[in-house]
């Protein structure tokens, strides 16, 4: 996985790009939570579930179907999120599905069960350039952790921020009268 700090880059970038009329603060918060949530599956290790199992790390919780179900369930709370059903569905789906997709660009671990339950195959992207994050805080607090963070700045934060700023500037330009 990229670190827990970097998965929220996607919902944050979309929220900055689209503005708070489309992505309310509560919706953004929910998006950040669901961009990280798939990695709660590391708890599977505590129960002796192997990494390669469909119930293991990067298994069903990282699938497109799981993101879809989370988005649909979240959309039921659209009023609490100060938004509309369709906005919540789209934003939460994007936030949750982006997790598995970013993981597929990492350089280690097993691939991602994106197509579970139709396939248990673990997928990687054609190119893997995000250095995989070590699992556990102790492993992260090491020179390897710095290398991982720098890789995420270059490959996750920089592209996300660039897109967000471009969309923000386009929005600002449209607001101004000619």
Q: Which residues bind Zn ion (CB under 5 A)?
A: 1, 39, 103
Of 55 and 77, the one with the shorter C-beta distance to Zn ion is 55
User: In three state form, how does the secondary structure of 79-109 look?
Assistant: CCCCCCHHHHHHHHHHHHHHHHHHHHCECCC
Q: Are 64 and 97 in contact (CB under 8 A)?
A: yes
Nearer of residues 6 and 74 to Zn ion, judged by Cβ = 6
* Cβ 55 to Zn ion shortest distance, Å: 14
- When the beta carbons of 39 and 152 are compared against Zn ion, the nearer one is 39
Residue closer to Zn ion (CB basis): 1 or 27? 1
Residue among 111, 15, 100 at smallest CA distance from 66: 100
**Reduced to 3 states, what is the DSSP secondary structure of residue 171?**
helix
Cβ 33 to Zn ion shortest distance, Å: 14
Shortest CB 100 distance to Zn ion, Å:
7
State the minimum distance, in angstroms, from the CB of residue 132 to Zn ion. Answer: 10
Beta bridge partner(s), residue 106: 130
């Amino acid at each position: 996985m990229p670190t827990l700090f970097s998965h929220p880059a996607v919902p944050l970038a979309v929220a900055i790009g689209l503005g708070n009329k489309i992505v309310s603060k509560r919706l953004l918060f929910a998006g950040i939570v669901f961009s990280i949530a798939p990695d709660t599956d590391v708890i599977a290790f505590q129960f002796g579930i192997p990494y390669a199992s469909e119930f293991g790390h990067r298994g069903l919780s990282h699938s497109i179907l799981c993101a879809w179900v989370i988005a649909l369930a979240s959309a039921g709370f659209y009023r609490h999120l100060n938004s509309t059903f369709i906005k919540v569905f789209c934003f939460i789906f994007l936030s949750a599905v982006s997790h598995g997709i970013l993981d597929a660009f990492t350089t280690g671990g097993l691939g991602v069960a994106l197509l579970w339950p139709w396939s248990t195959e673990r997928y990687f992207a054609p190119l893997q350039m995000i250095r995989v994050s070590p699992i556990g805080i102790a492993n992260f607090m090491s020179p390897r952790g710095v290398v991982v963070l720098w890789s995420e700045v270059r490959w996750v934060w920089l592209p996300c921020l660039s897109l967000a700023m471009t969309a923000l500037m386009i929005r600002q330009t449209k607001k101004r009268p000619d």
